[in-house]
Chain A
Amino acid sequence: MHMSKDLLDVCDLSVEYRTSDGTVKAVNGLDLRVGTGESVGLVGETGAGKTTTALTILRLLPPRVGFVTSGSLKFDGRELLELSSNEMQSIRGNQISMVFQNPMTSLNPVFTVGQQIQGVLMQHRHLSREEAKKKAGEMLEVVGIPGRRAGEYPHQFSGGMRQRVSIAIALSCNPRLLIADEPTTALDVTIQAQVLELMAELKSEFSTSLILITHDLGVVAENCERVAVMYAGTIVEGADVKDLFEMPLHPYTRGLFGSLPDLESPKSRLTPIPGSPPDPMGLPRGCPFEPRCVIKEPRCKAARPPLMEVSPGHTVACFRVNHLLNRGGVA
């Protein structure tokens, strides 16, 4: 069925947050695979469960609130969910690292950027203080910041520079998998272009696998090889970028394309998706997109459609997939 060369294999993952207000079903039976050296874009709207997925892979869910209720997370063949916290600690940073949306949350305001990179290198790569210091300067240069600025604090840098520092930290241990959670969402487009270019260069240089989490389909189209579209905690469609952008199938994916204004050939009117995403505290029993779907049938309310492969590498979770295929994939 699937080959073992996948670096990460997430299977039927479900995660919930148990809060005083009730249970939030943030991730619901999610399947996701990332091959060695591959870059996968995880796209979805606010609340789709993207960050929760990332935190679960790193085993960083908030204790006593976030719970994995089903599934497995295999990294290089090892089940991450079964590792002790010490074993996980050595994987985090060493083998898997993460870049967050807001670099200020991952950078420590009271240490210089040089000290922070140095710290990671000493802890994970067991370099001496002197070696780590030298290497920290080099890492800054790699992300386009003069090494002499290693003695400055995060607040002395612009947003784009801070994000480049977090990337330097995340990559300084040469991880096999980098999870970047909306790394450029807070940045202006010209700065976003710099950061994405940097990630692409480093990725090819170190052959790191990448999960790029974003809500921006443009960012995915230009920076990923594969795409997984997430809705209400589950993957509704997965494909190579070419297939997804040229033949989107799931009604939600198509709805997203209809909603987007076109920079190059303006539409006279947009075609929005009616309604809003479901409340994660009261998810429908059937297809989570059913309430907003324009091609729904009675059975869509009754059961959840599984992710089915409709052509090599192209998977869709929709009971009406044959109808979609017959109509051709033009959004």
Chain B
Amino acid sequence: METPLLQVVDLKKYFPVSGGILKAVDGVSFSITRGETLGLVGESGCGKSTTGRVILDLIPATDGRVVYKGTDITNSVSRTLRREMQIIFQDPYSSLNPRKTVGTIVGEALQVQGIGKGKERSELILETMAKVGLSGDYYHRFPHELDGGRRQRVGIARALILKPSFVVCDEPVSALDVSVQAQILNLLQDLGQEMGITYLFISHDLSVVRHLSQRVAVMYLGKLAELAPASELFTNPVHPYTKALLAAVPVPKYRPDRKKVILRGDVASPINPKPGCRFAPRCTRAAQVCKSEDPVLRDLGGGHMVACHIA
């Protein structure tokens, strides 16, 4: 088998907080092959963004390894490597510097990396803007003068100007309305294919993740619950949490007989988590072993992985 573009091995990120230790990411492992889109889903606070940030070395890992093209890059992403690894953020409102023009924002990485100058640089900026569907008229505008969809295009242009091979998309369409969201999803899909980009696509929206990803990882309280090829995960979920999550998504179709399985309780705190399966307190099938032992991610065959004692 081809070596994966990216491997994440037992990755951990702990934050010391007043109440103890907050285990935001607690032993996550997966790999992404070249050209693939891996979706990462889960509810608020489960550690998706933290995972993405640690991989890109925007924040240091507590433990574990990140291997990129066969090289260990944990906590050591160099400036040259940064060109290849980029991130697109959720909030096109707060992630763009309000005092800089669109052209400056899009060209920031060129400046940091010392690539091109003067006319050459501005041409590259305009070319990238065109690629994401932004007319050159916006070059001297400020982010607040743009609507949400165009602002997100600026965020995409900024991430793609150096032609990266790996991009973390952290909820890139969550702040957008559906009609505009679809434009951005198509754009990400097209550019990904055209430029051969490998994506880690983070979202809490399962429909969006299914639409774009070849494989999907489901995260719960800092750990992976299940990971499988997209069609397999959505048609044959095995983990009780994945099942509950899928059942809870409201479907925009007239289906008066759709059965709702409603999960009780709230997500527990990630501060000083109790031993055992993180989902056990809400799981209707939890057995004794679930409360004492952490389930490990095991392969059910065909790349379908699950971390559950009873599934």
Contact = CB atoms under 8 A, between A and B. Distances in A.
B211 A245 contact: no
B254 A241 contact: yes
A101 to B, nearest CB: 14
B178 A259 contact: yes
Contacts of A87: none
Contact of B248 (A45, A159, A190, A269): A190
Interface centre among A246, A266, A274 (most CB of B within 10 A): A266
Nearest to A223: B250
B179 A266 contact: no
B177 A258 contact: no
A122 interface: no
A221 B260 CA distance: 13
Given A161-B266, A269-B189, A270-B211, A215 B252 contact: no
Contacts of A242: 254
Contacts of A194: 262-264
Contacts of A261: 182, 185, 207-208, 210-211
Contact of B250 (A158, A221, A259, A264): A221
Interface residues of A, number: 48
A267 interface: yes
B254 A45 contact: no
Contacts of B251: 218, 221-222, 263-264
B244 interface: yes
Nearest to A267: B211
Contacts of B211: 261-262, 266-267, 270
A274 B133 CA distance: 12
Given A255-B179, A261-B207, A273-B179, A222 B250 contact: yes
A230 to B, nearest CB: 12
Please give me the 5 A-B residue pairs with the lowest Cβ-Cβ distance, nearest first.
A218-B250, A272-B182, A261-B211, A259-B182, A45-B177
Interface of B: 43-44, 147-150, 177-183, 185-186, 189, 204, 206-208, 210-211, 230-231, 234, 244-246, 248-255, 258, 260, 262-264, 266-267
20 contacts: A189-B206, A189-B248, A197-B262, A215-B177, A218-B252, A221-B252, A241-B254, A255-B179, A259-B181, A260-B252, A261-B208, A262-B207, A263-B206, A263-B210, A263-B246, A264-B234, A266-B231, A267-B211, A273-B182, A276-B179
